[in-house]
Homo-oligomer: A and B are copies of this chain.
């Protein structure tokens, strides 16, 4: 039990090697993540089947309230029992599963830069930054309403780290009038990043504008656009058992255009879902199945992901809690349900902490392990989420990148061979020696291990002499440095001009107000 001390002294004998060169091989390894681990499970296969069948029973008997008449018409045409007065749609389980079976198990997501394209499904993992917060914070300026400038900075940070695969809705730019926001956001994403963009489902006119801009960025026409997946949206059911107008419209618009819809019931157990994990998951499963069915009856084979976001509330205050033990169990269970229906599974990284501190780190780690070791394919809110999702934090973004890169490294296979067992080195070094100059060490020391972004591994004296900065303080320096050094990805000037002209024209025309 004393050995860390002893071994530390020993380890420090090694003379510092020269500053090592950056490792493009590691950076590239983060662009296409494959999770080699068998997903962790919390339910038996029988229990998964029971929840699946119970969810189908809920759809058949209780039904789901669908507020958009067009969506109800589509369900009626597909054979569902529809009550236009109450809005309730009840669907035979056979029809539900027939539709869901048409969804593709693996989806190719096409980014503006080919090397940024990723796969969704199977063992592939795509990571997405925080989405939706109205506020932004950093330790210099504090919490404030989000602006377009903040959104652009977050887009630059997303672009700068390979472990972020898709762009999200990192912060709401409250300085831009709602009818112009989608235009400004899309122009920012398409010029500051070459990764696949997110599109808000806030009405058909906004969605049409965004699709048009993405076609301009890719230099493709509507037909080519409909044949591959160039963007995605997230549609939340209005739990319990309700699908509101803009969300249903989003599913229809995206399915018709062949673009990805992530159908995510956001269910807090004890609030908008039953307080038990099996109950919350069963309800969420029913809601997701109905949303996915709407996509498939709109266009068979439309790309969809099975989203889950189940956590608990603090039963004393009603506050949502994230990264809790219950959150982890719900994530493992949701992954099992997603695999039951064979679809790509979306989960989330989250915390309730109000500041990028130790709580933010341990709750985020819990949610990451729950999601990623539960086998998730699309991790949303992976970087920058703070305060239950109400605020994007620049320091938290950097801390999350570190945590995500550690997972990306964990996913890399361990090379194994007779040579990797290093028996020749053991013979060479012998009892009581050290490996600093051994053959395997000399061959590998530049690249054997992950080099951290934020973590400070220096000893207490060196760390103290250099300002005794916490990880959060170092993260502050890192986001500033990353922004200062940012170089936007290459873009054809004609494309940039076309995007600018589009935004100018549509803005002059009054933009497109969001619908709800």
Contacts and interface: CB of A to CB of B under 8 A. Distances in A.
A20 to B, nearest CB: 6
A441 B275 contact: yes
Contact of A435 (B88, B273, B417, B434): B273
The 10 closest A-B pairs by CB, nearest first: A279-B422, A4-B389, A274-B422, A14-B318, A325-B409, A65-B431, A365-B365, A361-B361, A1-B131, A359-B471
A333 interface: yes
Contact of A414 (B277, B369, B402): B277
Nearest to A408: B325
Interface stretch (A102-110, A174-182, A308-316): A308-316
A384 B326 CA distance: 25
Given A1-B198, A11-B318, A320-B8, A460 B143 contact: yes
A464 B353 CA distance: 12
Contacts of A430: 62, 240-241
A445 interface: yes
Contact of A457 (B274, B314, B431): B314
Contacts of A317: 12, 14, 16, 457-458
Given A58-B426, A431-B240, A270 B359 contact: no
A388 interface: yes
A471 to B, nearest CB: 4
Contact of A358 (B236, B312, B361): B361
B1 A168 contact: yes
B357 A357 contact: yes
A43 B448 contact: no
A459 B363 CA distance: 16
A515 to B, nearest CB: 14
A117 B325 CA distance: 25
Instruction: Give the interface size bracket for A toward B.
Output: 35 or more
28 contacts: A3-B236, A4-B390, A5-B389, A8-B320, A11-B319, A11-B320, A13-B318, A16-B316, A38-B38, A50-B418, A64-B431, A240-B426, A270-B445, A274-B425, A275-B445, A276-B440, A276-B448, A278-B420, A279-B420, A319-B458, A320-B457, A324-B409, A354-B459, A355-B468, A355-B470, A357-B472, A358-B399, A361-B362
A446 B270 CA distance: 11
A456 interface: yes
Contacts of A238: 432
Nearest to A234: B1
B380 A1 contact: yes
Nearest to A365: B365
Work out how many copies of this chain go into the complex: 2
A460 B354 contact: yes
Contacts of A57: 423
Interface string A1-26: 11111111011111111011000000
A151 interface: no
Contact of A432 (B65, B236, B426, B457): B65
A50 B37 CA distance: 21
Contacts of A435: 240, 270-275
Interface in A423-450: 423, 425-427, 429-436, 438, 440-441, 444-446, 448-450
Contacts of A320: 4, 7-8, 11, 457
B5 A282 contact: no
A463 interface: yes
A431 B242 contact: yes
Contact of A324 (B362, B406, B415): B406
B457 A352 contact: yes
Contacts of A373: 40, 369, 373
A403 B325 CA distance: 10
